[in-house]
């Protein structure tokens, strides 16, 4: 199963080791799921995580090491089509396009309401705790 991690999941995971976002990131890589990445999503990850004060306690070098690791273990997906706008936010459209192109089942996000309508494309938006539950049920 492939999944997409919204940027807010990475921010949460890097800011605190106590939440479901960190628990999910800690499971990468696993046979049960693989994260999908595109160049635009990777650039967004880098842009957001490198902002001053966004991830206290980590240096830019540590953040880049983490992102390179995700890039190493993730599924790299090219996107050859754009059918925007579909969602309210163009950044969210980029994530939905990646999910469709990579045949990902889920977008993991704290903002599931931003992805209303993704079900039409066979993609379900889940919160990280819901994704963890889904992974547990599939075992």
What is the C-alpha separation between 96 and 120, in angstroms, rounded?
Answer: 11
Strand order in the sheet with 34-37: 75-76, 34-37, 2-5, 106-108, 124-126
3-state SS, residue 43: helix
What is the C-alpha separation between 5 and 25, in angstroms, rounded?
Answer: 9
pLDDT in tens, 19-35: 999 999 999 998 899 99
Q: Give me the half-sphere count of Cα atoms (radius 13 Å) on the Cβ side of residue 100.
A: 19
- What confidence category does residue 57 fall into, taking pLDDT thresholds of 50, 70 and 90? very high
| pTM > 0.85 | yes
Higher pLDDT, 19 or 91: 19
- Any idea where the domains of the chain sit in the sequence? 2-138
- What confidence category does residue 87 fall into, taking pLDDT thresholds of 50, 70 and 90? confident
Calculate the alpha carbon distances from 63 to 9, 38, 39, 99 in Å: 14, 18, 17, 24
Is 129 a residue whose pLDDT tops 90? yes
- The DSSP line for 70-126 is HHHHSEE---------SSSSHHHHHHHHHHHHTT-SEEE-S-GGGGTTGGGGT-EEE
What is the topology classification, in CATH, of domain 2-138? Rossmann fold (3.40.50)
Burial of 74 (0-12, 13-18, 19+ CB in 10 A): buried
For 57, residues 6+ apart whose C-beta sits below 8 A from its C-beta are none
Averaged pLDDT score across all residues of the chain = 94
């Amino acid at each position: 199963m492939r999944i997409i991690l919204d940027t807010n999941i990475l921010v949460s995971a890097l800011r605190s080791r106590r939440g479901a976002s960190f628990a999910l990131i800690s499971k990468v890589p696993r046979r049960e799921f693989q994260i999908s990445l595109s160049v635009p999503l990777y650039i967004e990850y880098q842009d957001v995580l490198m902002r001053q004060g966004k991830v206290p306690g980590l240096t830019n070098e540590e953040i880049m090491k983490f992102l390179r690791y995700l890039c190493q273990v993730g599924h790299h997906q090219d996107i050859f089509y754009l059918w925007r706008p579909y969602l309210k936010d163009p950044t969210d459209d980029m994530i939905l396009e990646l999910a469709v192109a990579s045949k990902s089942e889920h977008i993991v996000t704290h903002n599931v309401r931003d992805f209303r309508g993704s079900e039409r494309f066979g993609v379900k938006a889940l919160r990280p705790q819901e994704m963890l539950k889904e992974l547990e049920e599939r075992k």
